[in-house]
């Protein structure tokens, strides 16, 4: 994946050190999926990425990616583990991406200033990523994070339209709270619709990058079946889609960082 993307949309991209936290009020809204896509984007930009799965109830990131570190967010010492992971930035890693579960909001909302300080200690920028879907709870969560992240100096990215129709998001787009958050420094971007390939890949324990590269070993005994499921056209489409989304995410994350550093 790195070689594929470096030769196209991300050639020459320069990216800050980033600690990104993917947060949301419930499962199934695209946190893990988006976290995996951002990991591909950062890797394609030449960064050394640590991917952390903190979702103990639905470990999609852990099941579809290699070399994922697991974070026991319910443990008393969870913040100690978070500090240890953040301090790997600059000491073997350029960025750390945390995929938090639906029940882990407190570790972020209660400790955002501390997280910002921890990131600054390693010259990294904290960016909180909130998926926006047609679920009203995701809108409420986005507004909550605007009131916590932005005053603390964290970047805030609203990641919109993960498989939702544009009409379904009309309520969010009309929201005065959304407009206020963007005026205060939040950034919003939209992921394109991959179609059914994402769910099909997850069924084989594969990431979109795996499919794009024809890398089916993770499917284990079902590797041959996966190779038949994802023909050359589907692999090519996943590569095109991933290239485009990686470029979108890199630009949005950098914009979120820049808006907070002004």
Q: pLDDT tens-digit profile of 181-193? A: 999 999 999 988 8
Q: How confident is the model at residue 27 (pLDDT cuts 50, 70, 90)?
A: confident
Q: What are the extents of the domains in the chain? A: 16-261
Say how far residue 257 (Cα) sits from the centre of its chain.
15
Distance of CA 41 to the CA centre of its chain: 10
Question: How many CA atoms, within 13 angstroms, populate the side-chain half-sphere of residue 55?
Answer: 28
Q: What is the mean pLDDT of residues 142-164?
A: 89
pLDDT digits (tens, 9 = 90+) for 191-248: 888 989 988 999 999 999 999 999 999 899 999 999 999 999 999 999 999 999 999 9
Examine the pLDDT at 148 and tell me if it is beyond 80: yes
**Rounded CA separation 172/158 (Å):** 11
- String of DSSP letters for 196-228: THHHHHHHTT--HHHHHTT--GGGGGGHHHHHH
Specify the DSSP class assigned to residue 168: G
Does the pLDDT of residue 122 top 50, yes or no? yes
Report in angstroms the alpha-carbon separations of 182 from 106, 185, 231: 23, 5, 41
Q: Does the pLDDT at position 54 exceed 50?
A: yes
pLDDT tens digits along 171-182: 899 999 999 999
State whether CATH 3.40.50.300 applies to domain 16-261: yes
Report residue 129's pLDDT band, with 50, 70 and 90 as the boundaries: very high
Torsion of Cα atoms, 216 then 217 then 222 then 228, to 10°:
30
Mean pLDDT of 141-161: 93
């Amino acid at each position: 994946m790195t070689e594929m993307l470096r030769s196209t949309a991300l050639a020459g991209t320069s990216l800050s050190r980033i600690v990104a936290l993917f947060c949301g009020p419930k499962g199934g809204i695209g946190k893990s999926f988006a976290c995996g896509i951002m990991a591909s984007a950062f890797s394609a930009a030449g960064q050394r990425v640590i991917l952390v799965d903190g979702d103990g109830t639905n470990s999609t990131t852990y099941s579809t990616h290699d070399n994922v570190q697991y974070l026991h967010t319910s443990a008393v010492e969870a913040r100690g583990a978070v500090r240890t992971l953040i301090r790997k930035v600059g000491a073997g890693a350029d960025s750390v991406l945390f995929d938090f579960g639906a029940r882990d909001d407190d570790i972020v909302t209660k400790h955002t200033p501390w997280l910002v300080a921890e990131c600054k200690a390693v010259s990294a920028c904290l960016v909180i990523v909130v998926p926006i879907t047609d679920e009203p709870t995701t809108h409420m969560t986005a507004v909550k994070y605007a009131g916590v992240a932005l005053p603390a100096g964290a970047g805030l990215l609203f990641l919109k339209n993960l498989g939702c129709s544009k009409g379904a998001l009309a309520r969010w787009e009309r929201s005065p709270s959304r407009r206020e958050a963007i005026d205060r420094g939040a950034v919003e971007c939209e992921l394109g619709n991959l179609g059914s390939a994402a769910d099909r890949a997850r069924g084989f324990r594969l990431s979109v990058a795996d499919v794009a590269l024809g890398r089916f070993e993770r499917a284990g005994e079902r590797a041959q079946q996966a190779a038949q499921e994802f023909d050359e056209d589907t692999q090519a489409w996943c590569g095109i889609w991933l290239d485009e989304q990686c470029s979108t995410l890199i630009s949005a994350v950098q914009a979120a960082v820049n808006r907070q550093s002004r």
